[in-house]
Every structure is written in C-alpha cells, then in structure tokens.
Amino acid sequence: MKHGIVVLPEHEWKAAGERWRAAEQLGYHHAWTYDHLMWRWFADRRWYASIPTLTAAATATGSIGLGVLVATPNFRHPVALAKDLVTVDDIAEGRLICGLGAGAPGHDVGLLGEEPLSPGERADRFEAFVELLDAVLVRGDVDRSSRWYTANGVTFHPRAGDGRRLPFALAATGPRGMALAAGFAQYWVTSGPPGDFSGRPLPEVLPALREQVRGVDAACERAGRDPASLNRIFVADASAGGITGSVAAYEDAAGELAQAGFTDLVVHWPRPDQPYQGDEQVVVDFAEKHLAGKSCE
C-alpha cells in the first residue's frame, strides 16, 4: 500500500510550502491538491490555483509524486491543460500525476455561465477530453474537431513523442469512466459512492468500494488489459470518514483497503475546522511509524 495526502490550496505559500515539504519528509509517496475555480465549502475563503501551486511544490520538493485531483472539462481545454502539465512535469523532473474527472455540476460551471449538462453529455465530453489530451501529449501534432473541442493544427513539442506520457489518474464510478480508466490511466481513483460526503465508517462503505473494484477489473478485462496493471486510489474523508482519527484507525483502514484491492490510500491534511477537521499529529505519527525511511510495499 502506498500513501498520499491532499493539501488544500487555501494557504499563502509561506505556510503551504511547509506542508508540501513536510509531506515529502514524512515519506508520503504522493501529495495532491484540488483543481477548482471555487470550491463548494470555501466560496468565502482564500483559494489558490492548482497549477501554480504544483509548480511551487515542484521546486520545494525533490522526490515526492505531485498530483492534481482532479482536472475537469468544466473549465479546462485539453490543449491548454497539456501545456501546463508538461511545464510542471518538467520542473518536477517527471514527478507529476494528472488526475482527471468528468466534472460535476457546481461553482466551476456556474461561474463561467455554462449551461448544465446531463450525465450522458458529461460522459461524452469527458471521453473527448481524455482522448484529445492523450493525443496531444503522446503524438504532439493534432488536428481534429468535435462537438466539444477544436484543435486546429496543434504542434506540441514538449515531451511529445519521447516514449513517455505523464501518468493519468482517472476518477470514475460508472462503466463509461471505468472504460476510460482501463484504456488510458495508470491510476483509477474513487472516493466512494458518487456525491456521498456523509463520512460514514469505512466498513459501511467497503461493500460499495468492492463493487467498484469489480467494475474496474471487468473494464480492464474487456479492454484486454491485466487488471493488476492499473493502480487503485481511494481518496478518504468524503464517503468514509474517521480514517485519520487515530493511528490505529489509519492502520486498520489501510489494511482493509488493501484487502479490497486498493493500492494507494490518500487522506487529507487534517484541518482545524470542517471539512477534514482533525489532528495533524495523527498523520505525522502514522508516517513516522510506517513511511519515513521505510518501504511500504
């Protein structure tokens, strides 16, 4: 089991940088931040952009994986996003993980005056988003047009064609998204049942998580891919809460999730108030016991 931590982009860099450096020093395998114009619980609070934050984190750290949870079509175009991604990945010397999601209704849509999409339309748009982003990053030269995106004579030099595409971590809970994960991603991401922020005990959520794992396994098999080649990330603290309530709870959750087929557990850096309220010392103590200077295989 590998372990990651989300650092919300809510602090000025002087304070935020300390958390990113601490995540690396504690031995976390990857650290993440959210990609929103505005966030549901922080509409009246400070909220910084993900790409500049990850750029700063890349210069402040040297080995930890860096990820965005998750870039969506709500306000991102694949061509512009590709340019941002390869720039950060270059600064990070190949440590960036690109989280991708379909984009739920919310602030990011309303702020830009977009018309709400049906679930089917969001799935169609997400397929076009992932396919075009992959094409730009892998082939570089792209000329295509669809209902959702236009890429006229794109010639994309950074990293394209060098045999390596930065890894995608694709969030999906339904069959179409899981098929995309099986086809394009190195990581599949879930936080549990979609739209569930109840923070129930993990044992109550595990049946749904096991069903999702079976779904993504089936998607891999239909795509002719070995299911074991797809890493599986569980992002805690939304549908399942209390995982960082104590070191023992953290240890139990890691064990239960590993048995359910997950390869990575991502928690949120505990905050003094909701959401993700908790004691920072728990993640420090867990990391010092299980991560710092040790293998987590």
| pTM of full prediction above 0.75 | yes
Where do runs of H (alpha helix) occur along the chain? 13-26, 50-60, 78-91, 107-111, 119-138, 175-184, 202-222, 247-259, 280-290
- The confidence score (pLDDT) of residue 95 equals 96
pLDDT the model gives residue 160: 53
Neighbours of 290 (CB within 10 A): 17
What tens-digit pLDDT sequence spans the chain (297 residues)?
A: 999 999 999 999 999 999 999 999 999 999 999 999 888 778 788 999 999 999 999 999 999 999 999 999 999 999 999 999 999 999 999 999 999 999 988 778 878 888 889 999 999 999 999 999 999 999 888 999 999 999 999 988 766 556 678 999 999 999 999 999 999 999 999 999 998 999 999 999 999 999 999 999 999 999 999 999 999 999 999 999 999 999 999 999 999 999 999 999 999 999 988 898 999 999 999 999 999 865 443
Rounded CA-CA distance 174/118 in Å is 15
How far is it, in rounded angstroms, from Cα 49 to Cα 68? Answer: 11
Q: Give the whole-angstrom CA distance, residue 168 versus residue 185.
A: 5
| Count helices and strands in the chain by DSSP H and E runs | 9, 10
Question: Can you give the pLDDT at residue 116?
Answer: 85
Spatial distance between the Cα atoms of 146 and 133, rounded to a whole number of angstroms: 13
Backbone angles phi, psi at 97, to 5 degrees: -120, 125
**Measured distance CA(291)–CA(285) in Å, rounded:** 10
Q: Which of 21, 32, 23 is nearest to 287 (CA)?
A: 23
Contact yes or no for 88/96 (Cβ under 8 A): yes
Domains of the chain: residue spans and CATH: 2-290 (3.20.20.30)
Report the 10 Å Cβ neighbour count for 69.
Answer: 23
Sign of the alpha-carbon torsion through 102, 103, 104, 110? negative
DSSP string for residues in 87-134: HHHHHTTS-EEEEE----SSHHHHHTTPPP--HHHHHHHHHHHHHHHH
pLDDT of residue 244: 95
